[in-house]
Structure 1
Amino acid sequence: MFNEIVAIGLIGFFVYLWVFRRFYYLIWKLNGLYGLLSQPVLTVFVWSMFDPRYVIDRLKSLRENYRFKGPLGVVIGPRGVLYLDDPVSIEKVLNSPQCIDKTFIQDGFFTRKGLLHAKGQKWKNRRKQLNPTFNLANLVSFFPIFNTIGNSLADKFDVLAKGNKDVDSDHDNQINYKTIEDFINRAVLVAACRTTMGTTTNFLDTDDEGIVEAYKVLFKISSVKSYKPWLQLKPIFKMSKLYKIDVKYNELIDMFVKKIVNEKNEIWKENRENNKSREDDDFEGTTVPPVTRRNFIEHIFHLAENGELTMQDIEDESSSMILAASETVSNSLSLLLLCLASHPDCQHKLQQEIDETLNGAEITIGDIQNMKYLDMVMNEGLRLMPTIPMLLRNVSDDFYLQKDVVVPKDTFIIIDTFHIHRDRKLWGPHAEDFYPEHFLPENAASRNPFIFLPFCRGLRFCIGWRYSLFLAKVFLVKILRNYHIETNVRLKDLKFISGISLKVKDKKNVHFTVSKR
């Protein structure tokens, strides 16, 4: 009996090796015999990382304690995983058509039906359809909206500066990080709703319907499902305590988006008919069509009119864009304020540039483009604390990573943005410091562009990267033009949680002091 069990075990082992022979061959090519012999230890190590509280620290330990140079291959259960932290391999992956798909990890994201998580040809088609909504002319037309909402956000900081007891603060007017983060998140959500769906909301002052809370909760649940992918199986998820919460808030968001989309669609149809009549009168007898500029919601209504999208597609894309904008911009801006609060010299230098550049109350695209130090500060914040700490890709077909190295289909690729951005070999002695001079023209010119990935690069770079930068810069200028911010923490003492986006660990220990300039 014992011999039979051993025989079955050996047969199973050799079948397993045969099934995964191509990936083990990849490990041999990349990491040699040492890589193969390390597999049991590496497998256990990777499994231990399935907790967002420890991923960043354990990846750092992996980089420091294992003598691998370049890509690292690991077999985890039924999947091959390829970890990348070198710019040459990263450039190859991000420019490969076989590496544009997101992974099964991201299937737990609650807005997975839109562009954010489309795959293959569907993603290519949808990206092409939506590209015109993010052209520069459209983005510049949003600046009055950014200014108006930025002024309202600055008013909230005025409340903080006065030490209003209605806000969440401790002794000596110490403002909790979560309070600042909440104000910024609400302001960005207002801007996202206004620019994406053309609807005005009052989330900065009230959230009677619970929409702000719904987006926050669903994002947290999405993060949990990414680290516990078995929860993506509906029968298992139904047994989780998160299921009823997920259903409740998904229904709330669906109703919120559906209501706005239907209302805006009716208005758009009415305006479309009126404009068409005027155009027929104005252009009768000519061959020159009118030039049309459309925002996001108007553009996708136009696509639906042409039969390219359904109403469900419109709702999916609207919800995805609102969440993507609100989460990435609010998170990066909150983290940047933390950087500047802990570096008063940089904050003062930026405030000087703001004072010297702005002539009026409203911020223009020209003002933003003229503030070079603002650009350096924004990039440095995104380098040191990237909103998305890891980029994940699934290989849709075999491709060559190197001349004689083939990455097999269905390989799971991890690009470690967080540690690439802090690698001393790539960034020099100030790699782990907030040092805006990293982005002086003379320093950036000779640098491989694939060591800086705040909005990804290559074929699937972020469609809304300019939108995010413009909105974040306007809000930051509005705040720092009027207020000085200090904090009780040093950046080197902070720990981070690597969920879908980067979060500060132990937020309760991080405080701000806001004072009027």
Structure 2
Amino acid sequence: MITWQLWCTLLCVLWFYFLWTRRRYYKLIFQIPGPVGYPLVGTGYKMRHNEEVLLTFKHYLDKHGPSYLFWLGPLPYFITTDPQLIQDIFNSPHCINKGFVYKALEDVAGQGLFTAKEQLWSVHRKLFNPVFAHKMLLSFIPIFNAETANLLKTVDKLVDCGGHNMLPVMHGFSLDITSQTTMGSDVKYCEYIRTNKLIEAFQSLADNVTAIGISPWLLSKTVRILLGKEEEYSRAKLEIKEFLEELIDSKLAKGSEAADKNIFVNIAIDMMNRGLLTKNEVIDESITIVFAAFETTANTITYALILLAMFPEYQEKAFEEIRALFPNTGDFEVTYGDTQNMVYLDLIINESMRVLSPGPLVARQTTKEVRLSNGVVLPRGIQIAIDIFHLHRDKNLWGENAETFDPDHFLPHNMQDKHPYSFIPFTKGIRNCIGWRYGLIAIKVAMAKLLRNYKFSTSFKFEDLRFCEHVTLSLETVPLLEVQRRDY
């Protein structure tokens, strides 16, 4: 039987261990405010569920200001919404590595561009930069147009049929364009994609990655087995890797002569043949590209449509701009030049990504001491979280209506005095998103055709939206949209 004296001794040992593991952070603790929390668990217990993450960050942001320390278990996190400090961090050569929470993504996607440490990441980034060059992006526009034509056929079936959750529709569309530009146009006929099993596998992984991010002990396979979370997680990982391995083997068997040189996996296989990549690296990078692109693209389009349905006056302005470019309803070809002429649609997409940030949080880790412009020195090994969601809603940066939807925020005269790191939907600096131009072109092609042909409405109120941190931003309840056909 354990006596109370033994309990006290154990608690003292834990407490001193807690203090000892934090010794390198003592100076920072006295410089930066924030909750200390409890031994071992820190303040992570406040984020037991996905919907609690952003609410918890908001609570401490209001209490301690734009920069504070937060303890997730024994790991200290420097959390900030200060655009100048964010610029310092994103441009520091010692803040390139992703944070500990990305261990879950690394377990899923391997050592790809999204998770690789600095040395490997810098090599792969140089190799793959040409894949997202302007000329290459132009070659993808026919795929964007063709798949958006198919999207119109799907949406047409929803006209005058009551409210619909558009997110599954956009997931299917986004996976179609992402898988084809990554793996080739013939991949859409694969049964694994046609039956939506690839979508289901990716969404299963996204669910588990989020859970692991806020509960790091789930990185242990034993813990996942004990909690009944291992079987589905392992099955989804295995299915995706087997699918890509079979695809790569098939392409290797056919040879490179007939391969489309604009397709990501073909370029990666060519690098493998030249000894620049291993087969596992080709698989990891393919998973990374699809995983990173398909959900963010689907969410951005869906959330923009939801916001336009809630604020119909802005939807009508966008419609008028698009109708001037494309006088006739139905399908039409959108060129790169057309996307550059959609000035008001640009405002809408930017404002949508401001209010509903595609990636609400980004985590980094220091490899050496980093001195910030406010004089604070971040010690080696500290975790950093950039709170993009609340940065984008900061009233000091965006005005009193920062928390509502208003495309006028992005009019030139409203942006000219903004700090360049006040708006970072794709991050910025050394390790910015490699595919941000790709995503914007795909989104604009889809939005142009949807808004030209349909009017979207909803009874759901903007102020009733509730948010979850889910790798990408998720909504507790996705508003249902009613669809009407534009006949003029």
In the TM superposition, what is the alpha-carbon distance from 1:60 to its structure 2 partner? 1.9
Instruction: Indicate which of 456, 472, 477 corresponds to 2:427.
Output: 456
Following the alignment from structure 1 to structure 2, what is the Cα–Cα distance between the partners of residues 3 and 156?
69
In the TM superposition, what is the alpha-carbon distance from 1:359 to its structure 2 partner? 6.2
Instruction: Indicate which of 108, 119, 126 corresponds to 1:121.
Output: 119
Aligned residue number for residue 58 of structure 1: 56
Aligned residue number for residue 141 of structure 1: 139
Aligned residue number for residue 481 of structure 2: 512
Secondary structure in 2 matching 1:392 = strand
Secondary structure in 1 matching 2:47 = coil
Secondary structure in 2 matching 1:117 = coil
Give the 3 Å change call, closer, same or farther, for CA 5–383 of structure 1 in structure 2: closer
Following the alignment from structure 1 to structure 2, what is the Cα–Cα distance between the partners of residues 140 and 159?
30
Map of 1:115-514 to 2, 5 A cutoff?
115-163=113-161, 173-175=162-164, 177=165, 180-200=166-186, 201=188, 207-208=194-195, 210-271=197-258, 294-358=262-326, 361-402=332-373, 404-507=375-478, 510-514=479-483
Following the alignment from structure 2 to structure 1, what is the Cα–Cα distance between the partners of residues 225 and 14?
33
Q: Answer yes or no: is the 8 Å Cα contact 1:199–1:260 preserved in 2.
A: no
TM-score by length of 2: 0.91
Letter in 2 for 1:479: L
In the TM superposition, what is the alpha-carbon distance from 1:207 to its structure 2 partner? 3.5
Secondary structure in 1 matching 2:79 = strand
Q: Answer yes or no: is the 8 Å Cα contact 1:187–1:203 preserved in 2.
A: no
Secondary structure in 2 matching 1:498 = strand
In the TM superposition, what is the alpha-carbon distance from 1:266 to its structure 2 partner? 3.4
Give the 3 Å change call, closer, same or farther, for CA 8–351 of structure 1 in structure 2: closer
Secondary structure in 2 matching 1:302 = helix
Tell me the alpha carbon deviations over residues 160-207 of structure 1, each in whole angstroms, 9 at most, x when there is no partner: 0053xxxxxxxxx222x2xx1111110110101111111331599984
Give the 3 Å change call, closer, same or farther, for CA 233–423 of structure 1 in structure 2: same
Percent identity among equivalent residues?
31
Secondary structure in 2 matching 1:99 = coil
In the TM superposition, what is the alpha-carbon distance from 1:293 to its structure 2 partner? 6.1
Following the alignment from structure 1 to structure 2, what is the Cα–Cα distance between the partners of residues 96 and 265?
40
Give the 3 Å change call, closer, same or farther, for CA 15–106 of structure 1 in structure 2: closer
Q: Answer yes or no: is the 8 Å Cα contact 2:167–2:302 preserved in 1.
A: yes
In the TM superposition, what is the alpha-carbon distance from 1:22 to its structure 2 partner? 3.1
In the TM superposition, what is the alpha-carbon distance from 1:16 to its structure 2 partner? 4.7
Aligned residue number for residue 82 of structure 2: 86
Aligned residue number for residue 168 of structure 1: none
Tell me the alpha carbon deviations over residues 221-280 of structure 1, each in whole angstroms, 9 at most, x when there is no partner: 2222222221111222233322111222222212221222222333442337xxxxxxxx
Count of matched residue pairs: 477
Following the alignment from structure 2 to structure 1, what is the Cα–Cα distance between the partners of residues 378 and 391?
21
Unpaired runs of 5+ residues, structure 2, are: none
Letter in 2 for 1:339: L
Q: Answer yes or no: is the 8 Å Cα contact 1:385–1:502 preserved in 2.
A: yes
Tell me the alpha carbon deviations over residues 343-402 of structure 1, each in whole angstroms, 9 at most, x when there is no partner: 111111001100112368200000000111011100000000011111111122221124
Aligned residue number for residue 22 of structure 1: 24
Instruction: Indicate which of 101, 105, 120 corresponds to 1:105.
Output: 101
Following the alignment from structure 1 to structure 2, what is the Cα–Cα distance between the partners of residues 449 and 131?
23
Q: Answer yes or no: is the 8 Å Cα contact 1:190–1:202 preserved in 2.
A: no
Give the 3 Å change call, closer, same or farther, for CA 203–501 of structure 1 in structure 2: farther
Give the 3 Å change call, closer, same or farther, for CA 332–5 of structure 1 in structure 2: closer
Which is further off, 125-134 or 241-250? 241-250
Q: Answer yes or no: is the 8 Å Cα contact 2:43–2:72 preserved in 1.
A: no
Q: Answer yes or no: is the 8 Å Cα contact 1:190–1:204 preserved in 2.
A: no
Following the alignment from structure 2 to structure 1, what is the Cα–Cα distance between the partners of residues 170 and 425?
19
Secondary structure in 2 matching 1:430 = coil
Aligned residue number for residue 285 of structure 1: none
In the TM superposition, what is the alpha-carbon distance from 1:12 to its structure 2 partner? 6.7
Following the alignment from structure 1 to structure 2, what is the Cα–Cα distance between the partners of residues 161 and 148?
21
Following the alignment from structure 2 to structure 1, what is the Cα–Cα distance between the partners of residues 374 and 402?
31
In the TM superposition, what is the alpha-carbon distance from 1:6 to its structure 2 partner? 7.2
Following the alignment from structure 1 to structure 2, what is the Cα–Cα distance between the partners of residues 452 and 226?
24
Secondary structure in 1 matching 2:150 = helix
TM-score by length of 1: 0.86
Give the 3 Å change call, closer, same or farther, for CA 45–516 of structure 1 in structure 2: same
CA RMSD, Structure 1 to Structure 2 (Å): 2.6
Unpaired runs of 5+ residues, structure 1, are: 164-172, 273-291
